[in-house]
A and B are shown apart, each in its own frame.
Chain A
Amino acid sequence: MMLLEHHAKEILAAAGVTVPYGVLITPGNLGDLPGIERPMVAKAQVPVGGRGKAGGILKVKAAADLRPAVEKILEMTIRNHPVRSVRLEAMVDYVAEAYFSLAFDADSATIKILVAAEGGVEIESPEMAAKLLQASALPDPASAQAALESLLPALPEGLRAAILAVAERLIPLFFEQEALLIEINPLFIRADGGWIAGDAKLLTDDNALPRQPKLRELIEANPALYPEAALKLAQGFDFVKLDPEGDIGLVTTGAGLSMQLVDEIVQRGHRPFNFCDIRTGGFKGDPSRLIQVLKWVSSGPKVRSILMNFFAGNTNLAELVPLILIALKELPELRQPITLRMTGNGFDAACAILAESGNPIRVETDLERAVEAALAVLKEPDHA
């Protein structure tokens, strides 16, 4: 999970990295805005880059400008991410910008350390590529420290102390937090040789959450800012709202097949409301997860059709269908027609259970036909 800049900076600050003074503003504390004694910047908090270009970073010179700036940013959606919070941050004086990051290389199973005597531009840009110094290390702190030190001689002398100081704090943090990426870009260098993190990225490992209590607490304390991670943590499955205006809701299992289904519906010119990997294996005879997901997808204001897809390679449809029937009974208000695609283990028994229930749910065994049927519903006049 990509942490929001504000939380990344809090974690970095706790590890001894200097960061600009900043506070987090959400719609909930909009009525209690701080005073402005000197110019500040209001920065949209989204887990993607390109905020500045999108207009998500605004200078605030006086107290009267603060509320309009924050409200403007909170109304934005940046690269499909609705802005849910704003970091109000002190502006920093500096004379130079540098770059520092720690990441892993999946192919070689090593840690990659990247530094550059310039910063502030996207790391992938061709102008940066030529200036990056990089070293690889085994996945342990001592090896990472040695690799970093091997890069120092190639850096301008005035920058070495700053990079070393940053590394001394971030290398232990990278391993303690089981981070996947820590990036400071830009690292501001001040006139007196001091340094301060201008922007910070911290990508954490969702799989490490069972043994990372502080990260767990952060997610649990901020479910509105990390809705996908909070859901996964609390309920053990994935649900991502893709398009609030989406016209078709998906109740599907399996990450890859669910992603592909979203892609194929988009290719047909429609807008799925959500992505979901409901994980039927985790139901254990309990319909509550199905009820929850059906509630969510049916709450989409433009959702007029629901497609369920279950490929029972290792599960049993005869155990799944009774849960679907209970869920539908619990949701009498559900108005969207459901197309159920199912195939695999227990298919005949599942069909018999459905027939006996008298539920008019449409069943398809072929995925292509199921998608066509679910989309055909959208062409019918809306009776809702």
Chain B
Amino acid sequence: MLDSFVAADVPVLVQGATGRSGRSQTAQMVAYGTNIVAGVSRRDDPETKIPIYRNCREAVQATGARASVAFVPPLDVLPAVLEAIDAGLELIVTVAEGVPVHDALKAKAATREAGMRWVGASTPGLAIPGKLKMGFLPNVSLAPGGLGVMSKSGTLSYEVCYRLVGAGFGQTLWVGVGGDAVKGVRFADLVPLFAADASTKGIVIVGEIGGSEEEELAAALIASGCQKPVFALLAGRSALEGVTMGHAGALIQANIGTIETKTAALRKAGAVVSQSIKDLIEAVTSTLGTGG
């Protein structure tokens, strides 16, 4: 079921494969087992072992790549997304921090029009533990298991999953949707996927203040009739209104996007909303049993 979102053996190309970060991350994704088939860059790179092409279209024609992960600077994310659409790719993950919102609006409109799945604008990526990694979710936080994980914050989700793994709970699929105000794949989009996937025994949500994604997620949970246990942690209870708390999307304005509205919506949808990381780990453990 999760295959319909991303298959473990999907052939992946890397946009920006010869940059400082792109090169080292590509090597790590290959080492993790990801089927990286090509890189895209304006220049060749004698240090990389994967074939480098000038654009996505050439890379797709030569290698059959079907997904992309882009290590390009924030102002180059929109062109990278449009290039991936042009090449007919099915999925793109963009990791750059600081993508302008108006670019994200255009990328979102274009990816929707083209039917391409976009994980970004700014995200640590996604992973099927032990098999595939697109981006840089840390290995210490990854293990095969039964949790479907979706997260806004990188660091908070690293900590949560690291401790869940320590308690014996790994993941079926982990998608970092990122902390941007405007993004591609949103929490709610992943609900039908995790609800229908037999190997996913529970869903973990690492959310935060700002926007209305958690509220939409709650509505999607109700609409899907999902009976699986859902565990949520929401950061930013003590954030200052009107000030950006690190993430562009983590901005409370005039009572929209507060912890209170999100908590109420998620609880109404049957989710367990924890106030601390420790409580979340305990909720997962007591519901799913040790090492479930």
Which residues of A line the B interface, CB within 8 A?
1-2, 46-49, 79-81, 104, 106-107, 109-111, 122-124, 138-139, 175, 178, 180-181, 203, 205-208, 210-211, 228-229, 238, 240, 242, 253-260, 262-264, 266-267, 272, 275, 277, 311, 313-314, 343-345, 367-368
Contacts and interface: CB of A to CB of B under 8 A. Distances in A.
A256 B102 contact: no
Interface string B22-40: 0000000000000000000
Contacts of B74: 207, 210
A92 B287 CA distance: 62
A275 B209 CA distance: 15
B75 A260 contact: no
Which secondary structure dominates where chain A touches chain B? mixed
B291 interface: no
B276 interface: yes
Contacts of B101: 104, 178, 180, 205, 207-208
Nearest to B161: A313
Given A122-B254, A311-B162, A47 B99 contact: no
A240 B243 contact: yes
A347 to B, nearest CB: 10
Interface of B: 74-75, 98-102, 104-106, 108-109, 112, 136-138, 140-141, 151-159, 162, 179, 181-183, 186, 206, 208-209, 211-213, 216, 233, 235-250, 253-256, 275-278
Contact of B153 (A255, A343, A368): A255
3 smallest beta-carbon distances between A and B, as pairs: A256-B153, A254-B155, A255-B246
Given A259-B250, A311-B159, A124 B256 contact: yes
Nearest to B182: A106
Instruction: Among A79, A111, A175, A206, find the residue whose CB has the most chain B CB atoms closer than 10 A.
Output: A206
A124 B108 CA distance: 27
B186 to A, nearest CB: 7
8 contacts: A79-B242, A109-B105, A122-B254, A255-B153, A255-B179, A259-B209, A264-B275, A277-B246
A215 to B, nearest CB: 12
A105 to B, nearest CB: 9
A97 B37 CA distance: 61
A263 B108 contact: no
A213 to B, nearest CB: 14
Contacts of A208: 100-102
Contacts of B183: 106
B277 to A, nearest CB: 7
A369 B255 CA distance: 34
A80 B240 contact: yes
Given A2-B242, A109-B105, A240-B243, A260 B156 contact: yes
Contacts of B236: 259-260, 263
Contacts of A122: 254
Nearest to B183: A106
B244 A228 contact: yes
B237 A266 contact: yes
A240 B245 contact: yes
Contacts of A277: 246
Contacts of A205: 100-102, 248
Given A181-B253, A211-B100, A314-B138, 12 more contacts: A122-B254, A124-B256, A238-B244, A256-B154, A256-B157, A258-B155, A260-B235, A263-B235, A267-B237, A275-B239, A313-B136, A313-B154
Contact of B235 (A109, A256, A343): A256
Contact of B246 (A203, A267, A275, A345): A275
A256 B108 CA distance: 24
Contacts of B250: 255, 259
Contacts of A138: 109
A221 to B, nearest CB: 19
Given A104-B182, A107-B186, A240-B240, A255 B102 contact: no
A106 B109 CA distance: 11
Contacts of B239: 259, 262, 275
A47 B243 contact: yes
A228 B162 CA distance: 31
Contacts of A264: 275-277
A48 B158 CA distance: 32
Given A178-B101, A207-B98, A256-B157, A106 B247 contact: no
A178 B159 contact: no
Contact of A255 (B104, B141, B155, B162): B155
B158 A311 contact: yes
A256 B156 contact: yes
Contacts of B156: 254, 256-257, 259-260
A2 B182 contact: no
A259 B239 CA distance: 7
A335 B215 CA distance: 45
A210 B277 contact: no
A345 B137 CA distance: 13
A263 B237 contact: yes
A263 B138 CA distance: 24
A109 B106 CA distance: 8
Contacts of B249: 106
Contacts of B213: 106
A178 B103 CA distance: 9
Contacts of A254: 153-156, 158, 246
A285 to B, nearest CB: 14
A277 B153 CA distance: 12
Contacts of B99: 207
Nearest to B163: A367
A326 B193 CA distance: 49
B182 A109 contact: yes
